[in-house]
Amino acid sequence: MAVAEGAEPISLEEESIHKSANPWADAWHMFRRNKASVISLITIIVIVFVAITATFWTKAGLIDARTGAKARHTINPVNQTAQDAYPDPGICARDGQGQNPYWCGWLDDESLAVVQDRYCFRAAPDVNQKQWCYVLGGDSQGKDWLSQTIYGAQVSLSVGFVGATMALLVGLVYGVISGYYGGRVDNIMMRIVDFMYGIPYLVLVILLQVFFTEIAREYQDSERGGFVGFVLDLNQDMGGLLFLFFALGVLSWIGMARLARGQVLSYREKEFVEAARAVGAKDRRIIFVHLLPNIMGPLIVAETQQIPGYIFTEAFLSFIGLGVQPGTPSWGAMISEVRTRGGFFSNRHILLVPSLALVITTLSFNFLGDGLRDALDPRLRGT
Amino acid sequence: MNQVAPDTLSEHAGATSSETGREIILEVTDLKKYFPIKSGVLFQREVAAVKAVDGVSFKIFQGETLGLVGESGCGKSTTGRTILQLYRATSGSVKFRGQEITSLKGTSMRKMRREMQMVFQDPYASLNPRMSVGRIVGEPLVVHNIGTKKEREERVAELLKLVGLNPYFVNRYPHEFSGGQRQRIGLARSLALNPSFIVADEPISALDVSIQAQVVNLLEQLQDDLGLTYLFIAHDLSMVRHLCDRVAVMYLGKIVEIAESEELYTNPLHPYTQALLSAVPVPDPVVEEQRQRIILKGDVPSPINPPIGCNFNTRCPVAVDVCHEEDPKLEEVLPSHWVACHRVV
């Protein structure tokens, strides 16, 4: 084959020829340069890891969903009527010597008395060896705040991820269909979105949660069965999370749908899409090969920045008692402890610990979102 | 390949008696493309239409380059895209080697696309930034399911060499290339399926002047080597003169003049063509000094509501009454020289 004259291959240095600059690799390189984002990413990974392995820590005896004593052998119920059957009542922590061999965090005297009523700490083999319990304190019910925080992270993270994933999937499909096919389809689909934008988000979520609670109450008496019964049981097993996911997801996708549609519109008329069409590519190929890889960046960024919103909404709902079911650890429910049982001034850790967890998590997602925006959104690259 | 279809050589615009022996590769007859303007909240109705292409007819012969010139917004690009069925024609016919293609759908259309490809104006927008050069150039082969993976890779390397790029570049991404290199990549992609006809939509107007010559030379070289036929859309008149065998001049969705390249440049008959050519600077100080520019008054009328009669009558320096009443037909006033003007006949 002849090479056109005056068009000899433009020679480049050997090393640059072999250097590949995949846009995704480029984005990763860009992301790594943002220190706050990297730290946030690491923080999120740690939180996710701890949350996922919570059950393991419980089994290992390091934490307990309810009490949080350190080791199996150091905690025993006073008697068999206590909530869980721990064998072998031992010596109470404070009995006799009046000394507490345990470092009991911020647990104040009143709370400690409650705990000691229910659980009696047997002294460690070596009385002088301090044992850890209630590292981050606890509440008047004897719940260990560290364990509660870790289990609460499970709820917050799953709400954040599931909310974001649902919004991304539904919004993406809706927006891409609307933007790509255009015309009357687009017009009708977007009017529906406009209508949904008019619904107050939080009010709808609260009403849905009330609605679900009502249904659950009605079904409680009657014999369970069928699909509704199955869903209710599943929700019960998930500690109320299923309905929470649903309530949060009902409206969360509309913003994403608009964004996805706008992105598709901006790329649909690009010449490379036209080139694909001129070659004979089908709609499916154009959408999946040409449009999606180009529009995903801004969508992922937007969704990452939405995650704190879902976490806050869950915390708010749990705070007012419409979130997770009672007994399921959640940061919002932990904060509401101050509301229901007091301790705003006397037991600051009750408010402080879950709030800090909330702030650290949401801040991390915000910084992560910033970093992703710089890395994935080419329009803002270099600014 | 050499199926001459004499019955398609009807006496229509663009075909000339001296050329009846040559094979017609593309025949466009009274092609119209209107873009509807819609209004209404939910149930939109059509309130008007932009008449981007309003009854265009011409023929392109095997192996030639037809230039399509005109100012911005006159419908050049729309014509090119409608011919390739990237836009569905409002009416009219496009025949490729005698076969009507405006009615083709699905598989038969996809098959036809192997024969005709497009080179785009903006080398920065015409390559998908998320795809490597290898995938971009190989995409037509994947879409048409041609060859094995290895064969496709070989073909891509061959195509890159053909357009003067280093085959090592397959794993690189478009943003790593200059405008001229990107245009070569786009050219390689359009050649992947061995087409016989290429619509080049202002392929050089977004490039540096120094690069323009390279790409034009490459286009000519490829035409010689591969026997390609071009529809070359441009507004750079001197480049068109250099590259094209014949030139069609468009104004407001219509063709006003078609002639052999040299004939058109030396003997422009339509007042619009004359004005257009008078704007080309001459690289000779003596001639340049004497060059009389014909400055057209006013703006191009809106293609939504073009003037009655000849659509150039609002700006024409020689318009008479008949120009405001009757739309002039494209007629052969000299051998191979067609003009749509009441004043010329």
Residue A59: pLDDT band (50, 70, 90) is low
Instruction: Please give the helix or strand (H or E) that residue B185 lies within, else none.
Output: helix B179-191
Summarize pLDDT for A209-228 with one digit per residue, the tens: 888 888 888 877 666 667 78
B96 pLDDT more than 60: yes
How much of chain B exceeds pLDDT 70, in percent? 93
Range among A143-147, A369-373, B159-163 with highest mean pLDDT value: B159-163
pLDDT of residue A142: 61
pLDDT of residue A64: 56
Architecture of domain B6-115+195-339: 3-Layer(aba) Sandwich (3.40)
Least confidently predicted of A17-26, A92-101, A152-161, A231-240:
A92-101
Question: Domain A145-380, what fold?
Answer: MetI-like fold (1.10.3720)
The mean pLDDT of B324-334, rounded to a whole number, is 90
Tell me whether residues A1 and B162 touch, CB distance under 8 A.
yes
Tell me whether residues A3 and B164 touch, CB distance under 8 A.
yes
Closest Cα in chain A, distance from residue B199 (Å):
11
Closest Cα in chain A, distance from residue B168 (Å):
7
CA distances from A153 to A48, A240, A354, B97 (A): 8, 15, 9, 69
Strands B99-100 and B91-96: antiparallel
Using CA atoms, how far apart are residues A286 and B135, in angstroms rounded to an integer? 14
Summarize pLDDT for A189-206 with one digit per residue, the tens: 999 999 999 999 889 989
DSSP code string of B140-154: HHHHTT-S-HHHHHH
In chain B, domain spans: 6-115+195-339
Tell me whether residues B217 and A11 touch, CB distance under 8 A.
no
The mean pLDDT of A26-41, rounded to a whole number, is 88
A40-49 as b/e: b if 16+ CB within 10 A: bbebbeebee
Tell me whether residues A6 and B184 touch, CB distance under 8 A.
no
Tell me whether residues A278 and B225 touch, CB distance under 8 A.
no
Of B176, B196, B174, B193, nearest in space to B185 by CA: B174
A270 CB near a chain B CB, below 8 Å?
yes
Contacts of A23 in chain B (CB under 8 A): 129-130, 173, 175
Residue B97: CB partners within 8 Å, gap ≥ 6? Answer: B3, B5, B24, B25, B115
CA distances from A150 to A47, A158, A224, A243, B37 (A): 8, 13, 33, 22, 59
- Residues forming beta bridges with residue A121, ordered by sequence position: A75
Closest Cα in chain B, distance from residue A238 (Å):
40
pLDDT of residue B157: 94
Closest Cα in chain B, distance from residue A290 (Å):
7
A10 CB near a chain B CB, below 8 Å?
yes
Using CA atoms, how far apart are residues A271 and A285, in angstroms rounded to an integer? 15
Least confidently predicted of A36-40, A48-52, A65-69, A232-236:
A65-69
User: In this structure, what are the phi and psi dihedrals at residue B281, rounded to the nearest 5 degrees?
Assistant: -70, 145
A230 pLDDT more than 70: yes
Summarize pLDDT for B126-160 with one digit per residue, the tens: 999 889 999 999 999 999 999 899 999 999 999 99
For B217, the closest of A4, A12, A275 (CB atoms) is A4
The mean pLDDT of A237-243, rounded to a whole number, is 84
Residue B68: pLDDT band (50, 70, 90) is very high
Summarize pLDDT for A315-336 with one digit per residue, the tens: 999 998 888 888 788 899 888 8
Provide the mean pLDDT of chain A. Answer: 75
A379 CB near a chain B CB, below 8 Å?
no
A91 pLDDT more than 70: no
**How much is the ipTM here?**
0.85
Using CA atoms, how far apart are residues A357 and A86, in angstroms rounded to an integer? 31
B285 CB near a chain A CB, below 8 Å?
no
B113 CB near a chain A CB, below 8 Å?
yes
- Block residue for tokens 């992609």: B189
Please list the alpha-helical segments (H only) found in chain A: 14-18, 23-32, 35-52, 54-59, 109-118, 145-181, 183-197, 201-221, 226-237, 241-268, 271-279, 283-285, 292-319, 331-341, 348-376
Contacts of A289 in chain B (CB under 8 A): 128, 131, 139
Residue A337: pLDDT band (50, 70, 90) is confident
Contacts of B127 in chain A (CB under 8 A): 272
CA nearest to A378 within chain B: B129
In chain A, domain spans: 69-133, 145-380
Least confidently predicted of A32-41, A292-301, B11-20, B328-337:
B11-20
Contacts of A29 in chain B (CB under 8 A): none
Summarize pLDDT for B101-134 with one digit per residue, the tens: 998 888 899 999 999 999 998 888 999 988 999 9
pLDDT of residue A60: 62
pLDDT of residue A93: 40
Tell me whether residues B225 and A1 touch, CB distance under 8 A.
yes
For A274, the closest of B86, B176, B213 (CB atoms) is B86
Of A322, A373, A362, A372, nearest in space to A47 by CA: A362
Phi-psi category of residue A364: left, alpha or beta, with phi > 0 → left and psi -120 to 50 → alpha: alpha
* Neighbour order of strands in the sheet with B91-96: B45-61, B24-39, B91-96, B99-100
DSSP code string of A92-156: -TTTTT----EE-TT--HHHHHHHHHHEEEPPPSSTTS-EEB-TT-B-TT--BHHHHHHHHHHHH
Using CA atoms, how far apart are residues A265 and A186, in angstroms rounded to an integer? 11
Tell me whether residues A10 and B166 touch, CB distance under 8 A.
yes
Residue B247: pLDDT band (50, 70, 90) is very high
pLDDT of residue B260: 93
pLDDT of residue A191: 92
Summarize pLDDT for B264-275 with one digit per residue, the tens: 999 999 999 999
Using CA atoms, how far apart are residues A294 and A326, in angstroms rounded to an integer? 44
What 3-state DSSP class applies to B56?
strand
pLDDT of residue A21: 67
